[in-house]
Amino acid sequence: MLYRPLAMFVVTAALAGCGIVPLDAQWKDPSQPAASLRGTTVLVVCESDEQVVKQMCQDRVAAELRALGANTAMVPNSGEATSARLSEEARAVNARAIFNTRLSPDASRYVGGSGVSVGVGVGGGFGHGGYGGVGVSAPIGGSSHVSQGYVGNASLSDAATGRLMWTGRASTSAYHSSDLGWQVESLTKALVGGAQQAGFF
């Protein structure tokens, strides 16, 4: 029998090889049949307390949606992404749907270089450098490297009515990778893939 850390490593390696993590959960509006959004314009919105994560997410989601046959439009960076503003932006570009993604660091998924999980208490939210307020002590001769997992929540809404059509959640463990770019790409692939499996693309 594999010890749990080794089993986790094997599963992680397999997922990393595929470049995608599985969805933790997803929901689709059962009252409405899914209609394909191929060939239509989808407004892409990405939210994160870290600007670099926001930009990476936006680029990756747009690329994934275009690969599935949708046209994409972006929300300008200035201003808050309120529902009223998103509706206005969607009308301006004649979008049929809004794909909104939120990527956040998961405070419960910090892992030290020794492979031992680090308990973290974070106050006042995230977005202050990613590691602010985190105390990490490395053993003598050990590694001080720290990895961090991310959580992605996405929603697909009808642009005209604001009706939620689909939502999904995916997450990466700190064991997956210390490469933030890989985590963003993997999460966005999983989330857009979930909307595709639900029949929207």
CATH (domain of 186): 3.40.50.10070
Residue at 18 is within a domain:
no
pTM above 0.75, yes or no: no
Q: How far apart are the C-alpha atoms of 146 and 131, rounded to whole Å? A: 9
pLDDT by residue (tens digit) across 6-50?
433 343 444 444 568 999 999 999 998 888 999 999 999 999 999
Total domains in the fold of the chain: 1
Task: Let me know if residue 8 belongs to a domain.
Answer: no
**Enclosing H/E stretch for 70:** none
Strand partners, 26: 168
Domain assignment present for residue 11? The answer is no
Q: Does residue 66 lie within any of the structural domains? A: yes
Residue 200, helix vs strand vs coil: coil
Per the listing, tokens 């009515």 go with 161
Task: Let me know if residue 9 belongs to a domain.
Answer: no
- Expressed as residue numbers, the domain containing 158 is 23-116+144-197
170 φ, ψ to 5°? -140, 155
Residues of the chain with pLDDT under 70: 1-19, 78-79, 107-146, 174-177
Q: Residue 100 domain-assigned? A: yes
